[in-house]
Structure 1
Amino acid sequence: MFKNNFNTRPVALHFKHFTHRSYALFSCLGREVLICTLSVATLTNAKADGISTKPVASALALDSLSREEVKLDEVLVTGSRAPLTALQSAKIVAVISRDDIQRAEAASVNDILKLVPGVDVRQRGGFGVQTDISINGGTFDQITILLNGMNLSSAQTGHNAADFPVSLSDIERIEVLEGASARVFGSSAFSGAINIVTRADAESNVTVAAEGGSFGTFGGDASVNLATGAVRQKLSGGYTQSDGGTENSDFRRRRAYYTGSWKSRYVDMQWQGGFSSQDFGASTFYSAKFKNQFEATRRFLASAQAEIKPWADDRFVLTPMVYWHKDVDHYQLIKGKEGAAAGENYHRLDTYGGSLNAHASWLLGKTAAGVDVRREHILSTAYGDVQPEDKWVSIGGTDRKYNRLGERTNTSLFLEHNVIVGGFTLSAGLLANRNTALDGKFRLYPGVDVSYRPNDEWKVYASWNRALRVPTYTDLYTSNSVQQGDIALRPEKNEAFKVGTRYRTHGFEAVLSGFYSKGTDIIDWVYPTAESKKYQAMNIGKLDNMGYSVDAALHLQELLPKFFITRIKAGYAFIHQKHSTDGDVFGSLYALEYLRHKATLQLDHRIWRQLTASWALRWQERMNGYHPYTKVDVRLQWSAPTYNIYVKADNITNHHYYDLGNVKQPGIWVMAGASVKLKF
């Protein structure tokens, strides 16, 4: 029978066996010990090889454990429809931990992702104001972005997908899954998925932070964390504004985010709600011919999910979720010029849906089945079908009306089975997908992942998966002086193969992987002739991406605890692309502008007492006429239990570079800030 415990005790340790260290027994003194699988909450300090689809709102305080005392492979993860431990999982996922985030010289989630070798981040403005994110040579429309397992992908455009309502201080970890993942996350996971997992502290506290620096940049964040019994809640908010560092790139950003959880013996519940707002000068963001563009975006989101265990164990688990997000977009081709004739457009996209996943453990393994129904509804002055005048909808604050409508329903059915025998794992599944924007028929997308663990240090894996992507409303309906969509576009199809190995030992870890992605009917914005002056959305034919990446980290604080360098991490990714089409293609905007080379290097070291430094170097070479560049960032910080003071510098060599089109990025950008945390 469940009852409250009134005696405060240290958090229980869950593990399967002691380490082989001579002092292992003493780590249990004064603690409750439960012999079982290590809880996922240990991810507070550990890296897990998998995508998790629920937030760690109840992260445990295990700061007393060192890295070597945590059996990372015992962490429960869900890189498949049925949750598996990292040891059992047939996938390897790049996990950016909270420690990584706190050390990095970063202003946004987008800056953090730049350090992952297989991820391409094409930035248009500072602080991630408008950023395109892609994986393994794909495009920004070909990935799924999730917040605590909630799909944030936009049917309007992937340009605004990275508009997050959370700050870096809200995040527990970021998980990156490379390769087609339709049978796990649905058809939008064409070339990969990124899941952001938020956090709530185990103790009630208040945190206040502020920073300021170059180009008139200043801002602040505040949060309140409440932990009362089985309920934990966190409310945070923030504001940032800047002149932007280059001509007409000024911006103002506002955000608010709330998350909560409740846990009992049979049910775990999590819920979240958020709001983000951006107003920014868009410079030459979408056309080099217009240097004074403007855009304002608003995002609202909410979701609730539960984990129901009828027998209070993992024999059978139900996971329902309901979600909704609204994206509002106001765009001006020439800042201040109003009206459709001047290139001003308004869009309002509502996405809402529900899902139910169930998994069961039995004699022959773990079986999972699920369904997700997602409704996408857009009102616009440019996208969708023209409506009768009596169905036009007024746009608040203007004399304009939404006169176009687009709507479609996406239904996904999932089935998966996992077999685990000794060090061998086989995970096979199937997605049946139906989208009303197509012909209404169900299409099948299978996938198989397999891994083998010959010992505790090594893991080898291989996978084969298929996926599909339906064109966005931008692809279908855009029509202006510089771009033309095509309502006859066919959906993209992808078949991806991946192999790799992971090695982990005391003080060192490395992952080496290779991939081959076979795409057909790939969508890109191109000039159809050498004389064209207008980009057109086209199915450009077959596009094969192939390459490899290596990511290695040397944790010197484990090998040489007194040495001033604590960690060295390096990564490299190479991609080769093969394109074949029946016609000529000129001036690609996205698909053919892939990263051929990307190398990253990170160095963390102590300076004096609590003063530390983190350095990050990134070198990359992009195809289609871009010059390679090197960018170096640094962060100095003084860390204490109740406060943190830092100075960080982005692009310390003051190198002006281009990530996309003619949008020049700013030079050196210096910021200083501090945060204070008070418990109550």
Structure 2
Amino acid sequence: MYKQTFNMKRQRLIFRQFGNKGYSLFSCLGREVVCSVLSVSTLTYASAESVSTKPLVNDSTAMTTAREMMLDEVSVTGSRAPLTKSQAARMVTVLDRQQIAQAPVQSVNDLLKYAVGVDVRQRGALGAQTDISIRGGNNEQITILLNGVNICDPQTGHNAFDLPVDINDIVRIEVLEGPAGRVYGTSSLVGAINIVTRADAGTGNEGAQLHAEAGSYGYANVGGRVALDGKTSQSLSANYTRSDGFSRNKAGGLNADYKTVKAFYQGRYSDEQMRVDWHAGLSVKDFGSNTFYGAKWDDQFEHTLKTYTAISAENKQGRLHLKPTIYWNRSMDRFELFRDAPDTYPFNYHRTDVYGVNLNGHFDWTLGRTAIGAELRNEDLVSGNLGEPLANVHHIHGTNRNYEYGLNRTNISFVLEHNILLKQFTLSAGLVAVKNSWNEMNMRLYPGIDASYRIGNNWKLYASYNTSLRMPSVTELYYSVGGHKADKHLKPEELAAWEGGVKYNSYDLEGSVSVYRNHCKNLIDWIRRSDDPDAPWESVNFTEVNATGIEANLALNLQELLPAQHLLKKLSVAYSYIDQDKVETDGIQSQYTLEYLRHKLVAQLQANLWKQLNMNIYYRLQDRTGTYTNADGQIKDYEPYGVVDARLSWNAPRYTLYVEANNLLDKRYVEYGHVEQPGRWLIAGINITL
């Protein structure tokens, strides 16, 4: 982070790192000391302006030991130029490492359930397959990034969270709500999620960590991580997870079983002049997809294999800071409508290669900070049934079949942004210019502007207007099998969003309220006539869809507000409401657009029961609009439901023992159509630092 300070009356010493040595601050008496730290009190509300002078209690030995803390000035990606959370004009929800360690979750998918603006619709547990959206959108309309690199698959968004990283590898997750075109480029129609892994350079985090879990439905998880620190730091992690699943098909066989292997290698070179980061990851997943794509077939199966590689560099000296990045992501998918029975119905095979190169830069001058950027991204898909006929077919490895169809498209984008940084006021404005080779699309411009005003040390007012677009996925353009009829002439989706809000932050209380309005043109959805049981699902462009929403968050530091008691630590509550403009939907059943979370309430309570024994309780209440067809062909309304999750942990300096309960009250519910979610799920585990 390269920070230019404006309107300063005297020099300040900024501590980037220090331990709990007695002389760390004592030697600086007589000078003003600023300790910059990003602290997050809840999963649904991130505060970055607060500075804690009390030690944090880590809930996992996957972090550094409780005796050592790193205080870092953290940049978040609410704008193209790097800004700290206090500087940023746009609000970014940050799920930090401490909160990740405390949550009763086994995957990133599960963790995002506790972010109030995020809609997580699971088809399979443990992250087997999850559709994730933001603010009433669908799973195709967000951008997923790994360390700032776009890892979206243009074939489909269903498997977007087949991540190569274990949850213990993640240092924070940034959720940017609303159009993020000028920040993350195309596809970020309603928001973006950036997953940041642990880079150990200069932190002294050498060593190894091991973890193991076991639980209901034959669940087991084992993994570990090894890190080497120095001028060149490297880390390698691996993880294996399996489960028998929680359901069976009509024939009595497992149809929700699951197993996955993940491996992730990350490196960093850093000196006074430059920093170079690189990563390579692998995710292999096999899962029974029971009735994921239709209630008629209860023995579906899917295999996915994904690889991720990227390298980036950044100079630390000079007025102009440049950061070039090169990446290559490959996705392979095999879908079986009838498990292990290719003669009954041929398997669907797809392979996608995404190559990209981008260059980001920024410089400071008299009027503020200016950022520039450009990206060239090529998406190449070959398939057994999606796309246009190929002139030259490609053999499908391990079969006697060929990839006979495909689609290749190239996206070019340019970004210009300027940030005015004053003592109490920040203004960030810019635009992204986009051209895609698909359908001979001409260059289009999408502007955005964010502003915030800080009142004193605790209050912040903010407002924004942003626009973006999304290209149709290959599935939306060409999937015309199995009761589906796609339209290859679909138009790109476009969205404009207005947002305003107020935020309060102090050490004992945090809160915010925001209101937004989304206006979407040419929104893409799969619809069918509900009065005809044989009607196909068709991909169409809705002319216009408008959504109005409100989000409110409140977090209380109970140790500060009630100092006489030592049991309760923190309490947080967050609520989200969305209303879409009424559209003519008589006789129409929608898969995505008309199915959104109208109400979502999330609450969390942290308590210290005794010494190192901690308990965390989470509650989610969700009410979804829309209908679905069950296994008997009946059209049902989604019913509201509430789920309680809990985690009990004993936290020692070198190990953590824990027990987790998901859906503690054994609630039966559905998040997506007819796919019922599991009941009570118990897990016990251990984390060890060597």
Q: Same fold (TM over 0.5)?
A: yes
Alpha-carbon distance between aligned partners in 2 of 1:421 and 1:279, rounded to the nearest angstrom: 52
Alpha-carbon distance between aligned partners in 1 of 2:333 and 2:63, rounded to the nearest angstrom: 39
After TM superposition, the score normalised by the length of structure 2 is: 0.88
| Structure 2 counterparts to residues 473-484 of structure 1, below 5 A | 473-484=474-485
Q: Give CA deviations for 1:405-428 in whole Å, capped at 9, x if unaligned.
A: 210001110000111223111110
Match of 1:318 in 2: 322
Alpha-carbon distance between aligned partners in 2 of 1:666 and 1:143, rounded to the nearest angstrom: 27
| Structure 2 counterparts to residues 234-249 of structure 1, below 5 A | 234-247=235-248, 248-249=255-256
Match of 2:374 in 1: 371
Does the Cα contact within 8 Å between 2:416 and 2:430 map onto a contact in 1?
yes
1:300 equivalent among 290, 307, 329? 307
Alpha-carbon distance between aligned partners in 2 of 1:208 and 1:153, rounded to the nearest angstrom: 30
Match of 2:283 in 1: 276
Match of 1:225 in 2: 227
* Residue type of the alignment partner of 2:217: F
Match of 1:632 in 2: 644
Match of 2:26 in 1: 29
Q: Give CA deviations for 1:576-622 in whole Å, capped at 9, x if unaligned.
A: 011446x8661101111000100011111011111111100001000
1:260 to partner: Cα distance: 1.3
Alpha-carbon distance between aligned partners in 1 of 2:102 and 2:238, rounded to the nearest angstrom: 22
1:575 equivalent among 574, 578, 583? 578
Q: Give CA deviations for 1:440-475 in whole Å, capped at 9, x if unaligned.
A: 411000001011001110011000011111100000
Does the Cα contact within 8 Å between 2:38 and 2:47 map onto a contact in 1?
no
Does the Cα contact within 8 Å between 1:365 and 1:420 map onto a contact in 2?
yes
1:392 to partner: Cα distance: 1.3
Alpha-carbon distance between aligned partners in 2 of 1:290 and 1:662, rounded to the nearest angstrom: 12
Q: Is 1:189 paired with 2:188?
A: yes
1:399 to partner: Cα distance: 1.1
Q: Is 1:545 paired with 2:547?
A: yes
Match of 2:538 in 1: 536
Match of 1:95 in 2: 94
Cα–Cα, structure 1 residues 235 and 506, in superposed 2: closer, same or farther, change >3 Å?
same
Match of 1:671 in 2: 683
Q: Give CA deviations for 1:140-173 in whole Å, capped at 9, x if unaligned.
A: 0000111110111110001011111111110111
2:660 equivalent among 643, 648, 655? 648
Query: What SS class does the counterpart of residue 114 from structure 1 fall into?
Result: helix
1:210 equivalent among 209, 212, 217? 212
Match of 2:123 in 1: 124
Cα–Cα, structure 1 residues 233 and 66, in superposed 2: closer, same or farther, change >3 Å?
closer
Match of 1:20 in 2: none
1:32 to partner: Cα distance: 11
Match of 1:250 in 2: 257
Does the Cα contact within 8 Å between 2:41 and 2:47 map onto a contact in 1?
no
1:268 to partner: Cα distance: 1.2
After TM superposition, the score normalised by the length of structure 1 is: 0.90
1:548 to partner: Cα distance: 0.4
Query: What SS class does the counterpart of residue 368 from structure 1 fall into?
Result: strand
Gaps of 5+ in 1: 1-11, 17-22, 51-58
Alpha-carbon distance between aligned partners in 2 of 1:96 and 1:612, rounded to the nearest angstrom: 19
Query: What SS class does the counterpart of residue 338 from structure 1 fall into?
Result: coil
Cα–Cα, structure 1 residues 667 and 31, in superposed 2: closer, same or farther, change >3 Å?
farther
Match of 1:447 in 2: 448
1:38 to partner: Cα distance: 5.8
1:563 equivalent among 566, 569, 588? 566
Does the Cα contact within 8 Å between 2:155 and 2:352 map onto a contact in 1?
yes
Worse overlay, 39-48 or 401-410: 39-48
Query: What SS class does the counterpart of residue 670 from structure 2 fall into?
Result: coil
Match of 2:351 in 1: 348
1:675 to partner: Cα distance: 1.5
Alpha-carbon distance between aligned partners in 2 of 1:284 and 1:63, rounded to the nearest angstrom: 46
Does the Cα contact within 8 Å between 1:657 and 1:664 map onto a contact in 2?
yes
1:244 to partner: Cα distance: 1.3
Q: Give CA deviations for 1:626-651 in whole Å, capped at 9, x if unaligned.
A: 00001001111111111111110100
Match of 1:291 in 2: 298
Alpha-carbon distance between aligned partners in 1 of 2:113 and 2:530, rounded to the nearest angstrom: 34
Does the Cα contact within 8 Å between 1:343 and 1:480 map onto a contact in 2?
no
Match of 1:334 in 2: 338
Cα–Cα, structure 1 residues 96 and 241, in superposed 2: closer, same or farther, change >3 Å?
same
Question: Segments of 4+ in structure 1 off by > 3 A?
Answer: 23-27, 30-50, 59-67, 74-78, 557-562
Alpha-carbon distance between aligned partners in 2 of 1:307 and 1:504, rounded to the nearest angstrom: 33
Cα–Cα, structure 1 residues 63 and 166, in superposed 2: closer, same or farther, change >3 Å?
same
Q: Alignment length, in residue pairs?
A: 641
Q: Is 1:361 paired with 2:364?
A: yes
Query: What SS class does the counterpart of residue 653 from structure 1 fall into?
Result: coil
1:546 to partner: Cα distance: 0.9
Alpha-carbon distance between aligned partners in 2 of 1:42 and 1:118, rounded to the nearest angstrom: 20
Percent of residue pairs identical: 41
Alpha-carbon distance between aligned partners in 2 of 1:489 and 1:234, rounded to the nearest angstrom: 44
Question: RMSD between aligned alpha carbons?
Answer: 2.7
